[in-house]
Amino acid sequence: MIVDIIKAAFSIISIIPGISSIFEKWSKSYPIETISKTIVSLAKSITGANTINGSINKLNANKEMQNKLQELLVKNEYEIELSIIQDKQNARIRDVEYIKSNRRNTRADIMVLVAALCLILCLVIIVYCKNMPGEVLGIISTMAGIFGSCLKDAYSFEFGSSRGSKEKDITVASILSKIKK
């Protein structure tokens, strides 16, 4: 059943190529099954069809329905972006409250410390274990990249990311302009 929904979502994306960028962006944060269900559900609601194939057939034949589906997906994209921004803002507010009450966010401290220690361990292994097979070296290098990325995310959260913030502002403005059209 899930495979059918995923196939249907890709069929819908092939009909309306403008939504492929939305699908790609969502797939970085959400499971493909969830995204596919959302796309198929919205397509069914737009077309009024009871089946996936009926919905796809109606979308193929009707440009107006294609446009309505695209508008709905853009609106959902806007709402998802806003929820992500609000979630980060709520987490930052929580951290400020910890500081005001002279407490520490122990969980966050442990997460950053573990990521830093694991990154250092990976780098030590790479430097001092010279006779490693290439496959093992590749795996450890990948792990080091993951832990480095965790640290980058922690720093971006703590200090903000001017580039990331600027990109989000541009994205939100773009989405708002699409909705207003």
Please tell me the total count of domains within the chain: 2
Same domain assignment for residues 70 and 109: no
Q: Is residue 180 part of a domain?
A: no
Q: Is residue 95 part of a domain?
A: no
Higher per-residue confidence, 177 vs 155? 155
Same domain assignment for residues 78 and 129: no
Q: Is residue 143 part of a domain?
A: yes
- Which of left, alpha, beta for 2 (phi over 0: left; psi -120 to 50: alpha)? alpha
Q: What is the amino acid identity at position 115?
A: A
Domain span at residue 132 reads: 104-170
Q: Is residue 28 part of a domain?
A: yes
Same domain assignment for residues 48 and 122: no
Same domain assignment for residues 81 and 16: yes
- State the burial class of residue 22 (Cβ atoms within 10 Å of its Cβ: 0-12, 13-18, 19+): buried
Instruction: Give the helix, strand, coil percentages of the chain, each rounded to 5.
Output: 85, 0, 15
Question: Length of the chain, please?
Answer: 181
Same domain assignment for residues 84 and 110: no
Q: Is residue 54 part of a domain?
A: yes
Q: Is residue 181 part of a domain?
A: no
Of 52-56, 72-76, 135-139, the one with minimum mean pLDDT is 72-76
At 66 the pLDDT is 87
Q: What is the amino acid identity at position 7?
A: K
CB under 8 Å to 19, separation ≥6 — which residues? 12, 13, 39, 69, 70, 73
For 97-120, the pLDDT digits (tens) are 777 888 877 888 899 999 999 999
At 147 the pLDDT is 94
Same domain assignment for residues 121 and 56: no
Last residue of a domain, one of 88, 119, 135: 88
Same domain assignment for residues 152 and 75: no
Same domain assignment for residues 81 and 123: no
On the question of pLDDT at 54 being above 80, the answer is yes
| Residue 124 backbone phi and psi in degrees, to 5 | -65, -45
At 85 the pLDDT is 67
On the question of pLDDT at 163 being above 80, the answer is no
Residues 34, 40, 42, 48: is their CA dihedral positive or negative? negative
Last residue of a domain, one of 88, 122, 148: 88
Same domain assignment for residues 82 and 44: yes
Same domain assignment for residues 115 and 71: no
At 148 the pLDDT is 93
